[in-house]
Chains A and B, each alone.
Chain A
Amino acid sequence: GQNIDQPTEMTATEGAIVQINCTYQTSGFNGLFWYQQHAGEAPTFLSYNVLDGLEEKGRFSSFLSRSKGYSYLLLKELQMKDSASYLCAVAYGGATNKLIFGTGTLLAVQP
Chain B
Amino acid sequence: DTEVTQTPKHLVMGMTNKKSLKCEQHMGHRAMYWYKQKAKKPPELMFVYSYEKLSINESVPSRFSPECPNSSLLNLHLHALQPEDSALYLCASSQDGDSSNEQFFGPGTRLTVL
Q: A43-B105, A102-B42, A104-B40 are in contact. List 6 more A-B contacts (CB 8 A).
A: A42-B4, A42-B106, A87-B42, A95-B50, A100-B45, A103-B42
* CB neighbors of B among A9-52 (8 A): 30-31, 33, 35, 41-45, 48, 50
> Which segment, of B11-19, B70-78, B79-87, B93-101, faces chain A?
B93-101
Counting chain B residues whose Cβ lies within 8 A of the other chain, the interface size class is 20 to 34
A93 interface hit (Cβ, 8 Å): yes
Contacts of B50 in A (CB 8 A): 95-96
- Complex Cα spacing A6 to B103, Å: 21
B114 interface hit (Cβ, 8 Å): no
Q: How far is the CB of A97 from chain B (nearest CB, A)?
A: 5
Contact indicator B99/A97 (Cβ below 8 Å):
yes
Contact indicator B48/A42 (Cβ below 8 Å):
no
Counting chain A residues whose Cβ lies within 8 A of the other chain, the interface size class is 20 to 34
User: What 10 pairs across the A-B complex have the smallest Cβ distances?
Assistant: A30-B99, A101-B42, A96-B97, A42-B105, A91-B99, A45-B102, A96-B55, A97-B99, A43-B105, A97-B97
- Complex Cα spacing A76 to B35, Å: 30
Q: Which of A31, A35, A43, A98 contacts B56 (CB 8 A)?
A: A98
Contact indicator B55/A104 (Cβ below 8 Å):
no
Contact indicator B100/A50 (Cβ below 8 Å):
yes
- Complex Cα spacing A103 to B42, Å: 5
Contacts of B105 in A (CB 8 A): 35, 42-44
Contact indicator A96/B56 (Cβ below 8 Å):
yes
CB-defined interface of A42-66 with B at 8 Å, one 1/0 digit per residue?
1111001010000000000000000
A-B pairs with beta carbons under 8 Å apart, 20 shown: A30-B99, A41-B107, A42-B90, A42-B106, A42-B107, A42-B108, A43-B90, A45-B102, A48-B100, A87-B43, A89-B42, A95-B55, A96-B31, A96-B50, A97-B31, A97-B94, A97-B101, A98-B48, A100-B45, A102-B42
